[in-house]
Chains A and B, each alone.
Chain A
Amino acid sequence: MVIDSKKIRELEEKARQVRLMIVEMLARAGSGHPGGSLSSTDILTALYFSVMRHRPGDPDWPDRDRFHLSKGHCCPALYAVLALQGYFPKEELSRLRKLGSILQGHPDRHTPGIDVCSGSLGQGLSVALGMSLAGRVDGKDYRTYCLLGDGEIQEGNVWEAAMAAAHYRCDSLCAILDYNGFQIDGRVADIMNIEPLAEKWRGFGWHVFAVDGHNMAALIRSFEAAKKVKEMPSIIIAKTIKGKGVSFMENVVDFHGRAPKKDETELAIRELSP
């Protein structure tokens, strides 16, 4: 598949804006999860600005592609993408994690564009499987996307869903693993090893793509290739960098779940500004 390089540059520019919005949003909120939000930014940008069929003005459009953020703590990235797309006014981002806000600390149905709550890890792949199966019952051709964290797949529920999705030959289901290598307590490999990853998913009956999760062209190629996979679900294992785009956050586990302080925020904004 040939991808227009101008389109790629546009997407990269969107991703830069999203990262900036994440830093500003978290700094104002005073808490939240920058590391995984920044590692998943390019994936979400590719999905919402290129891959998915959706209508921001009509979030309940029955034929829309579904997206479910199973790693709910990375919702700042999703909120920024939804706001840029016009699902709700950008001003709402300044109310993240505040009392009465439509932008809760973890995804909630009060946010236009979010179909099912998440935040408790391990349940989202099942939710996405349900969306995919409902589409089959209704004879619809929408696709369902689900973003998983690497630490998250230590949850047993994920593998129940993986087994069921392959059993039901859900080729409209595409999972993405944000493989940034860190979880709250440290390196995934040290806390609870999840390797060999590709072999595990293949063993469960999935078609596996491995990709650099910050290479926009490669991401889009994988998503488009996954659309052509038949009779089995797909997973895109996206190798990412936790905190990607802010030099002092990259691969620093401390930024899994803490907001930047004032001086850190200023530095991060400078790095992310054009």
Chain B
Amino acid sequence: MAEMLYQRDVYGKTLVELGKRGADLVVCDADLSGSTRTALFGKEFPHRFFNFGVAEQNMMATAAGMASCGKTVFASTFAMFATGRAWEQIRNTICYSNLDVKIVATHAGITVGPDGASHQALEDIAIMRAIPNLRVIVPCDGPETREAVLTAFETPGPFYIRLGRAKVPTIEERRPFALGKGSLLKDGRDVAIIACGIMVREALRAEQELAQKGVSAQVINMSCVKPLDGELLRKAAASTKGFVVCEEHSVTGGLASAVAEFTAQNCPVRMACIGVCDGFGQSGDEPDLLKEYHLTAADIVAAAQRLVTST
């Protein structure tokens, strides 16, 4: 059995590790520090931790002000409120000024679960990806979360890192995270399954099922949604009959859109999208929700088979 980790536990521990390295790291939260795990940093470094209460817009613009004075600022809350409520502060004050603010949002996607649609961010990748200067990362598991946070800390400029609520299995096949790079986890010749976040796990399960059905699938972990690894997409397009792009996000504007924008202009390829189709979520347990919104390995298998047989 794979090790199961909360990405946000890893995030909180990594912040503490980074906090010990130097005094220039400051962490901000908006009344969700227990859930996002920034409280771990706050306990260790109280003079460098700021809780702004339920006021995300102020948190983001304040983080920009701190960063303008040489601080590296991590700002966290749930993905819905970080990206939705404070979008314009992120766009006009953080990113236009190209400041060292790392937005690490937790509780993204449908697997927020019982809290329901108001808390299930399904549009955040789309609206973050559209902002210039902002790098967008969707780690697939606990260890990749640590690597993404370290990369954001060491790389100047703004970042958006998207984490989930639930525990996720550590992906044994995973390669080290590199900014601007995707990684090929399985090679195959019929179809390329390109995924980010928890969908990498589903993609790997689908690959095994497809192999039993005589379909050879590549699996790509595209945890770095922006900048996107065009070179890897070209190779995948040249070596397969089509892509199945998988994300725990709306099919509008997210990873599938990013992949389509690139391939349509550079290496046209047939595509199927696994994601939420222009709808809101609802309350439920994680496995039921994944099934209800067609985000499972079985859905990927069906999409891949359709793609392979129709070519």
Contacts and interface: CB of A to CB of B under 8 A. Distances in A.
- A and B pair up: yes
Interface of A: 62, 66, 68, 108-109, 115-120, 123-124, 126-135, 137-138, 156-157, 160-161, 163-164, 167-168
A168 B62 CA distance: 12
Given A123-B92, A133-B62, A138-B69, A160 B57 contact: yes
Nearest to B92: A120
Contact of A164 (B62, B92, B99): B62
A134 B71 contact: yes
Interface stretch (B3-11, B31-39, B46-54, B264-272): B46-54
B71 to A, nearest CB: 5
B61 A115 contact: no
A123 B70 contact: no
A179 B63 CA distance: 27
Contacts of A132: 65
B257 interface: no
Contacts of A119: 92
Given A116-B99, A117-B93, A157 B58 contact: yes
B19 to A, nearest CB: 12
Contact of A116 (B58, B60, B68): B68
Contacts of A157: 57-58, 61, 89
Contacts, number: 107
Contacts of A137: 23, 26, 47-48, 66, 71
A156 B68 CA distance: 23
Nearest to B45: A137
Interface of B: 23, 26, 47-48, 50, 52-53, 55, 57-58, 60-71, 88-89, 92-93, 96-99
B66 A131 contact: yes
A109 B93 CA distance: 11
Contact of B93 (A116, A133, A135): A116
Given A119-B92, A126-B61, A137-B47, 17 more contacts: A66-B69, A116-B68, A116-B93, A116-B99, A123-B93, A124-B61, A126-B93, A127-B62, A128-B65, A129-B62, A133-B62, A134-B70, A137-B23, A156-B57, A157-B89, A160-B55, A161-B58
Nearest to B54: A160
B57 A123 contact: yes
A196 B66 CA distance: 31
Given A126-B58, A127-B93, A163-B53, A116 B65 contact: yes
A160 B89 CA distance: 13
A73 to B, nearest CB: 13
Nearest to A168: B50
Nearest to B47: A137
A116 B98 CA distance: 9
A131 B63 CA distance: 9
A66 to B, nearest CB: 8
11 contacts: A117-B93, A120-B88, A126-B93, A130-B62, A130-B63, A130-B66, A130-B69, A134-B66, A157-B61, A160-B57, A164-B52
Given A123-B92, A137-B48, A164 B68 contact: no
- Tell me if B's interface is mostly helix, strand, loop or mixed: helix
Nearest to A109: B97
Given A130-B66, A131-B66, A133-B66, A117 B61 contact: no
Contacts of B97: 109, 116-117
Nearest to A123: B61
A117 B61 CA distance: 11
A135 B89 CA distance: 22
Contact of B65 (A62, A131, A160, A167): A131
Nearest to B62: A130
User: Which of A116, A120, A124, A161 is packed against the most chain B CB atoms within 10 Å?
Assistant: A116
Contacts of A138: 23, 69-70
Contact of A62 (B26, B70, B98): B70
Q: Which 4 A-B pairs have the closest CB atoms?
A: A130-B65, A126-B61, A160-B58, A134-B69
Interface centre among B26, B53, B63, B93 (most CB of A within 10 A): B93
Contacts of A127: 61-62, 64-65, 68, 93
Nearest to A120: B92
Contacts of A128: 65
Contacts of B67: 130
A164 B31 CA distance: 13
Contact of A126 (B48, B57, B71): B57
A273 B304 CA distance: 77
A255 to B, nearest CB: 25
Contacts of B99: 116
Contact of A117 (B50, B55, B92): B92
Nearest to A134: B69
Nearest to B96: A117
Nearest to B69: A134
A115 B98 CA distance: 11
A68 B65 CA distance: 9
Nearest to B48: A137
